[in-house]
Structure formats: C-alpha cells, structure tokens
Structure 1
C-alpha cells in the first residue's frame, strides 16, 4: 500500500518547485521596487534630518502632528479633493458617451478613434506647455473671448480659474485612453442582448441603462480605478502650468511632496505627506471596488 505524502513533501513536488523558480524573479523585482520603497517611505516618515553627514534620526509622530496643524497641508487636501472629483466624473462620462457613438457604424470611426486617442500619447510636459500658452493672458483663449467682446480672464493668475484649467487638462488627457477601453468593453457585449431588449420594447435609453451599463461593469471598475490613480498622482500639469499657484490654489499632494522634499529638503515631513497620499489612494480604490463590485 502506497504511503500518503506528507504536507512538507507535497509543498516540494516538481510543479511547486517549478512555480517558485518562475515566480522568484518577479517576486524579487516586486520586493525591490514596490514593497521595499513603501516600507522605507513609512520608516522615513518617522524621521527628521537629511541625507548628509548629520544623518537622519527618529522623531516619532512629530511629522504627522505637523501635518495636522499645518494650514497649507489642509489647503492641499482641499485642492486635491476638488481636482479629483472635478476630473474623475467627466473623465468617465465623456469617454463613455464617445465610445457609444463610435461603436456604431460611422464612416470616419477609425480616424475619430485616432484623433481622440492622440492626447493620451502626447508628453505631459509638452501638453502642459501647450495649455499654458493657450490660457496665458495674451493667449488664444483670451483672443477668442475678445473676438466675442468678452473681457479677458486671468486664467493662470486667478485663484478661481486656475484649478479649472488644470482639471480641463486632466480630462483632456484621459478621454482617449478611457474611450478605447470603453470601446473594447462595448464590443464584448453580445448583440443578442440588445436584440432581446428591443423585442421586449426597450428604447435606446433603456437598452443603455439595462444592457450596456451592466455589461460594462468590469470595464467601469477598471477605468474608475485607473482614472482615480492617474488623477491623484498628477504632478506635471501643476509643475508646468501653474507651479502650485496662485496663492497655493492649485497645489496638489504630489507637488506638495516634491516641494517639501526637494525644495525644503525636509524628507521626513515629505515622506509623511506621501504616506498620507498612499493611504488616501488605497482607501479610495477600496471603496470604488466595493461600490462597483456590488451586485
């Protein structure tokens, strides 16, 4: 009678060993470039000092307490929330509408796909410089307003209008990528679902609400999460277009971290800001997955 294999022996069978051999390079890269940097960032947030001969030293929760008492930090939190909410919804609704239109048989569908996707492959810095030129006081946007006898607007030096320019840039960059993803999701929905809904007397809006949206649930989860992450990590638009101004009105968490780390060389405080950003991102993604994953 064949003896049963011990659990320790089952863990070392040929398939398991082969799996670990193939997984080891990826695990090493994961540890080196993701897990270790996050762990070191968390450690650094409890320190002060600099990477010089003086070195760094532990200060406990002092950096987090400074965050709590810093009015600039709360202004940045408000800016980031405003920017994220203002960018996220249009970056999903507009591409979804375009995808539904382009999914139909249009003569110029291929050309329109390329045109809408073009902003996604343009350099963020180059696109940011373009937006800065468009919205400067003597730029084409104010020139167009002047053509219609509308007073010019100080887009980039006004605390009310500067953030909408950054939000518009973020939406413009995300439209093409999200549209292509939605198009792929739409083409994966079986046509017989629409035919059955049409036979039941459903109009175009009812078909969209009861067939298209449920069929796009996985795609919506993916685009919502990726768009939220892209929005929260936005740095180049702020750096190139406004520099966080005017009066700190467009300063976002990533740019604020950059300022504290490489402008003030306060790496412990900057690490605390980055840790807060990481936690906010994880919480936001978690609730998005929970919300879209229900049902």
Structure 2
C-alpha cells in the first residue's frame, strides 16, 4: 500500500513540476495558434516558393521542376519591370501622405473642442468601408459622365477621361488608397499621442521650448514605435493593393495602373501560368520581408 501511495505522489509531483514550467505552459497555450499559423501561413509560403521553381500547372499535365527558369523570365520580361515601376510609384505616393495627413489630424483632434467625437468618427469611417464599395463609389465619381466631370463642365473645363487616361488613372488609385488609410492611421497616432505625459510638454515650456521644438523633440520622439507600426501596416496595405485596380481600371490603360498583386492575379488566373505567378509572388514576399525587417531594425 505504501509503495502504491508513493508512486501516485511522485506522479502528482512530476505533473505539478511540468505545469509549473513556464516554457511548457506557454507551449500548451500557444500550440493552437502555432498549428493555425503552420496550416494557413507557413505551409502556403513554403509551397509558394516550391511552386515558383516548377511549371505550376494544376491540370492533368502535372507539375514539373524547371529550376530558376521562372525567375529568369521575370528578369527578361518588360511588363514585369513596368509593373514594378508602377508599384514603386504607387507605394511611395500613398505611404508618405498616409502618414503625414493622419499625424496632423491626430494632433488637431487630440485637443479638446466641440464636436471632437463626431470628427474622429467621420475621419475613421472610410477605413471600415469595403474596398470594393469604395472602389465602385470612386468609379461612379470619376466616370466620363460622373459628378467630377459635371463640375468641371459647369466651370468651363473640358471633361477628363480619368480612368481611361494613362496619366490620370494612377492618381485616382492613389487618392482612393490614401482616403481609405487615413482614418486607421489617425486613430493609431491619436492613441500614441494620449500615452505621452503632459508633464513633458510642461517641462519643455518652462525651459523655453517653442511649439516646433516640442513637436520635434517630444511628440515625434515619443511616437517612434507608433510611427514604425503605422509605416509597416501602410506599406503592407499598399503593396497588397488589388481590389481598387480590379474595380477601377483593370490594370489599364496600356498597363499604366497595373500593380504587382494584380499582375500576379492575371498571370495565375488569366493565363494559368502558376509557376511564373508564384515566382512573382515570391519576389513580392521577399520585398515585403526586407522592408519590414529594415523598419523593425530602425525601431531598436
């Protein structure tokens, strides 16, 4: 009887020691999330990279290994480099205003005044609207017989084919994306501003610092982690832009508004060249990872 009791006690003590181990407990709680990430994130990424080295056909012909042929095709394809140029221009034009405008709005709305809550809600609303709905709204506004051209005609200006012009198509996409992203970034900056102790500004004012010096040395310095977060999310949001191109321009006219994600979609589901599309998607993944790494490194 004593031996059985001793064994049970030892088992209970061992189980308790395992549960008291923080690493083991963390592994238990994180295992569902790790499993989901493995199934829906890590495995698709690994399969994407593998697919980029194959023909990528999902038909009866099967998948065949072609090595770096798809990447070589990317390097020699003029359309790919044109799309990369469009994506760089689009990303640069969207990210900078999507950080500067929300920061200014957040500083203004951080003050106490009448209708403050209404204005915060109004600025945030675009970020919760579906991109498809927003794209259809912009398409109606900028169509040839749309409200924008009607206003231009009323003041004696010739109507512009906004979505059918190689010059104006991209700016419309940029305006749509900035309008969509400003509200979310504003709320993030507003939350960051409210974490800055008011005593910092009081001390700076006593030391004779003007408004610009307080903004530069206190506000921007304290908002560095928030700024990096908004920069990363905005870059990712911009690089994965697809719906606005699909709804507004379809990549045209003459490939002038074609972005990398839409180009991948065309190659994969328009031409069924999955291996080549996977190579382009792998390039996009690599670019995104490098940008995020550099931004996180600057945060340290």
Scaled by the length of structure 2, what TM-score is found?
A: 0.92
Query: 1:4 maps to which residue?
Result: none
Q: SS in structure 2 opposite 1:234?
A: coil
**CA distance in 1 between partners of 2:216 and 2:87 (Å):** 31
Q: What is the Cα-based RMSD across aligned positions, in Å?
A: 1.3
What is the Cα deviation at residue 31 of structure 1? 0.9
Q: 1:265 aligns with which of 264, 272, 282?
A: 272
Q: 1:90 aligns with which of 97, 109, 112?
A: 97
Query: 2:5 maps to which residue?
Result: none
What is the Cα deviation at residue 49 of structure 1? 4.7
Q: SS in structure 1 opposite 2:55?
A: strand
Q: 2:75 aligns with which of 62, 65, 68?
A: 68
Please show how residues 196-215 of structure 1 align to structure 2 within 5 Å.
196-215=203-222
Query: 2:261 maps to which residue?
Result: 254
Q: SS in structure 2 opposite 1:56?
A: coil
Corresponding residue pairs, total: 283
Verify: 1:180 aligned to 2:187, yes or no.
yes
Gaps (5+ residues) in structure 2? Answer: 1-13
Please show how residues 131-210 of structure 1 align to structure 2 within 5 Å.
131-210=138-217
User: Of the two, which has the highest radius of gyration?
Assistant: 2
- Range with bigger deviation, 18-27 or 276-285: 18-27
**CA distance in 2 between partners of 1:34 and 1:147 (Å):** 52
Cα displacement string for residues 194-218 of structure 1 (whole angstroms, at most 9, x for unaligned residues):
1111111222222111111001111
**CA distance in 1 between partners of 2:216 and 2:153 (Å):** 42
Which contiguous aligned blocks of 4+ residues in structure 1 show a shift greater than 6 angstroms?
none
Verify: 1:56 aligned to 2:88, yes or no.
no
Query: 2:7 maps to which residue?
Result: none
Verify: 1:22 aligned to 2:62, yes or no.
no
Q: 2:248 aligns with which of 241, 246, 254?
A: 241
